[in-house]
């Protein structure tokens, strides 16, 4: 299909150009949604989109209900989020000396903050949805405040790491957010970002775009945005199924001056265009992915149901998952046993 040329209502966040091509006209629910790509760098975003005020209200009040169908995490959500949090924290803690301050932005029900604190990091979180933030404080007893990133009150240079797990794609100005976060970090501090990969072919083509995902990245555009924000890129990688991209960024002495000109990513838009065109419904349904995925989900659901039949208390679920991880060796260095015992009470 020949891409439709257009002029975006907001310039490319990465390279500043206004001319774009339309890559999709609907979201994963088949509702109208115009998704455009910058032909110069390959950044993909929803255009037009709601105002900043409308977005803030949506995330404060509706998003969790809209996305998860609930006002606060149900036990199944906590169990699932706990397992994901353990995986994420295992990766993260290899980069950080124990005891360093970490902020999880978009902290949800506080599961990542909980696991990090059990691993010896004085972690805290910020979550736009008031009910989820309250759940984190009252049910998991971890410090998660309710608010949006633009209004966060963080002492400059006070943090050793900030984590953004599936958050950056929701922000209306990701470059601005990354520069703000840089100010919160000490020199040498890390910014961890995990986002969906626009090149992913593990889901049906019709599920690629989401109205809440304002930006869509691949490794090249996420890497370039980190550099544009003035960070040094420590590493960048995709998940085993290609569904997500993770970038680990470091604030250096020269970070502020490194925030520089628009990047050049020759060939990146062509690459994304080719991948999107090749990922047709027919090819997808002739591959193994659509058949293995439901089987994996069914297995996960049965396993979760067995666990939840024994235990529905959120804090106990977190402890159960942590202890499973220690027993299986996923978390190989056991923390102080007295801390673990105290946390289980
Ligand atoms: Zn661009």
Gap between the Cα atoms of 105 and 145, Å rounded: 10
Separation of 77 CA from ligand 1 center, angstroms? 36
* Ligand 1 center–CA 221 separation, angstroms: 9
- Angle 211-223-111 (CA atoms, 0-180°, nearest 5)? 60
Res 257: pLDDT: 54
Flag the least confident range among 49-58, 155-164, 330-339.
330-339
- Taking alpha carbons only, the member of 152, 190, 145, 144 closest to residue 171 is 152
Ligand 1 center–CA 41 separation, angstroms: 4
The alpha carbon of 249 and the centre of ligand 1 are apart by a number of angstroms equal to 21
Q: Per the omega criterion (within 30 degrees of 0), is the bond before 51 cis?
A: no
Token pair of 130 as six digits: 């008031």
Give me the domains of the chain, ranges plus CATH numbers.
49-344 (3.40.50.150)
Q: How far is the CA of 219 from the centre of ligand 1 (A)?
A: 14
Q: What are the pLDDT digits (tens) for 257-289?
A: 545 677 889 999 999 999 999 988 888 788 887
The stretch 303-324 carries a mean pLDDT of 90
- Calculate how far, in angstroms, residue 61's C-alpha sits from the geometric centre of ligand 1: 32
Distance CA 255, CA 149 (A): 21
What separation in Å is there between the alpha carbon of 30 and the centre of ligand 1?
26
Find the 162 Cα to ligand 1 centroid distance in Å: 26
Q: What is the pTM of this model?
A: 0.88
At 55 the pLDDT is 84
φ and ψ at residue 102, rounded to 5 degrees? -125, 140
| Residues at Cβ < 5 Å from ligand 1 ion | 12, 14-15, 38, 40-41, 43
Q: Which H or E element spans position 290?
A: helix 289-310
What's the pLDDT at 339?
46
Q: How far is the CA of 14 from the centre of ligand 1 (A)?
A: 5
How many other CB atoms are there within 10 angstroms of residue 323's CB atom? Answer: 14
Rounded to the nearest angstrom, the distance between the alpha carbon of 15 and the centre of ligand 1 is: 4
Closest CA to 154 of 180, 122, 189, 118: 180
pLDDT in tens, 170-181: 999 999 999 999
How much distance in Å is there from the Cα of 19 to the middle of ligand 1? 9
Distance 21 CA to ligand 1 centre (A): 11
269 C-alpha vs ligand 1 centroid, how far in Å?
Answer: 9
How close is the Cα of 37 to the center of ligand 1, in Å?
Answer: 8
CA distance linking residue 311 with residue 262, whole number of Å:
52
Question: For residue 1, how far is its CA from the centre of ligand 1 (angstroms)?
Answer: 21
**Distance between CA atoms of residues 79 and 203, nearest Å:** 23
The Cα 22–Cα 4 span in angstroms is 5
CA 281 to CA 91: how far, in whole Å? 34
Gyration radius (Cα) of the chain, Å = 20
Distance 126 CA to ligand 1 centre (A): 30
Six-digit token pair at 190? 């890390």
CA 127, 129, 134 angle in degrees (round to 5)?
80
Q: How far apart are CA 54 and CA 51, in angstroms?
A: 5
For 217-256, the pLDDT digits (tens) are 999 999 999 999 999 999 999 999 999 999 999 999 875 5
Between CA 59 and CA 52 the distance in angstroms is 11
């Amino acid at each position: 299909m020949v891409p439709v040329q257009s002029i975006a209502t907001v310039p490319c966040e990465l390279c500043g150009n206004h001319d774009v091509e339309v890559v999709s006209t609907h979201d994963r629910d088949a509702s109208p949604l115009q998704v455009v790509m910058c032909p110069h760098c390959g950044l993909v975003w929803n255009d037009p989109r709601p105002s900043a005020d409308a977005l803030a209200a949506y995330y404060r009040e509706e998003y969790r209900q809209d996305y998860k169908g609930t006002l606060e995490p149900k036990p199944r959500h906590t169990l699932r989020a706990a397992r994901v949090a353990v995986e994420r924290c295992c990766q993260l803690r290899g980069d950080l000396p124990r005891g360093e301050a970490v902020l999880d932005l978009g902290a949800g029900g506080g599961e990542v903050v909980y696991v990090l604190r059990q691993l010896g990091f004085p972690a805290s979180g910020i979550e736009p949805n008031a009910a989820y933030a309250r759940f984190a404080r009252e049910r998991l007893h971890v410090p998660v405040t309710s608010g949006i990133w633009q209004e966060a009150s963080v002492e400059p240079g006070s943090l050793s790491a900030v984590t953004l797990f599936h958050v950056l794609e929701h922000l209306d100005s990701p470059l601005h957010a990354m520069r703000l976060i840089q100010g919160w970090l000490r020199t040498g501090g890390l910014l961890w970002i995990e986002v969906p990969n626009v090149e992913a072919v593990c889901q049906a083509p019709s599920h690629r775009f989401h109205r809440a995902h304002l930006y869509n990245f691949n490794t090249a555009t996420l890497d370039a945005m980190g550099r544009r924000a003035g960070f040094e890129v420590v590493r960048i990688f995709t998940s085993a199924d290609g569904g997500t991209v993770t970038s680990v960024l470091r604030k250096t002495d020269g970070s502020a001056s490194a925030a520089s000109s628009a990047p050049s990513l020759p060939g990146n838009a062509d690459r994304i265009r080719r991948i999107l065109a090749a990922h047709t419904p027919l090819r997808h349904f002739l591959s193994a992915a659509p058949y293995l995925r439901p089987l994996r989900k069914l297995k996960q659901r049965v396993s979760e149901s067995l666990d939840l039949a024994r235990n529905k208390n959120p804090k106990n679920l977190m402890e159960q998952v942590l202890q499973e991880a220690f027993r299986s060796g996923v978390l190989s260095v056991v923390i102080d046993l007295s801390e673990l015992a105290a946390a289980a009470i």
